[in-house]
Structure 1
């Protein structure tokens, strides 16, 4: 399933994909990420490309990223 340590080449082979409730279609080009539940690692993919690759994160790295986003550590343009 995982081609290397950090990617899955065809993310459609994984189950449990969902989009954030904040991705309600209000973005002009539908720029959304999807995350898959129920895996030992955290796969993340572009919602516009469900058969494309997924990046894979260790749970601790994903948790740190989400916490940083919630704290506003990433500027928005």
Structure 2
């Protein structure tokens, strides 16, 4: 959005990212820790979770379904 000079869209996206990160810090949500991925700096997982969450429910839902499919035993 910034490259295309769509300032209103860029501001909305930046606000969504900021809100997502703030909420994840507020509740201590860390998607990466839940997956067993640990960072040397503890807050990086929370910040990345906030960015990830700011993408929206459909994006998160699709990724969770893909991860569940990878971890599910094969029905052969």
| Superposition TM-score tier, normalisation by shorter sequence | 0.3 to 0.5
Structure of higher CA gyration radius: 2
Structure (1 or 2) with the greater strand fraction: 1
